[in-house]
Amino acid sequence: MDAFASSYTPKPLEDWVKDQPIKTIPQLFDKAVKDNPQTRFLGAKIKGTYEYRTYEEVKDLVLSFASALLDHGIEPGDRVAQISNNRPEWVITDLGTMSVGGVHAPLYATVSNHALTYILNDSRARVLVAEHDGHMKMLKECQGELEHLELVVSMTAAKPDDYEKFKVVAWD
């Protein structure tokens, strides 16, 4: 190892990046879509059987999510939090957020009320994508303490009139 380390001088990262045609994760995803539009990309087990979406189908969903963020006024640097288990919507949220220059701030699906409030406030998240009714109940309980949250995208059917401090919309 010492012989290798003493004879090898790595190229500075800044110089390496300048030579690369792809500089961002959204650009990498766009290239994958272009190269493999009909290839299976994201799968989920639904009623015991895996169902897959192609790169092209996922790209359409990413663009829809990104457009919704822009319609809400999300700007580069704004935070979009997500409380969810691993599922296709997680990837769509991540890619859509990065596509508009936002910062994806994922939270564990098992986060406590106290931690949820702290993380949403500390990250200054303007948007939260929430997976299930338990997460929506937590939000209802702590909504008075949330300083920056403006929009919640619920993956389940939530009653928008139950929330005073922020707008609630359905994922669909």
pLDDT digits (tens, 9 = 90+) for 122-157: 999 999 999 998 898 899 889 889 999 999 999 987
* pLDDT, average across residues 43-57: 96
Domain boundaries, the chain: 12-170
**Three-state DSSP state, 103:** strand
Alpha-helical segments (H) within 20-87: 25-35, 55-71
As a whole number of angstroms, the distance between CA 71 and CA 123 comes to 21
82 vs 168, residue with greater confidence: 82
Question: What pTM, to 2 d.p., does this model score?
Answer: 0.85
* Homologous superfamily of the 12-170 domain (CATH): ANL, N-terminal domain (3.40.50.12780)
* pLDDT, average across residues 101-111: 95
pLDDT band at 46 (very low <50, low <70, confident <90, very high): very high
Residue with tokens 């969810």: 84
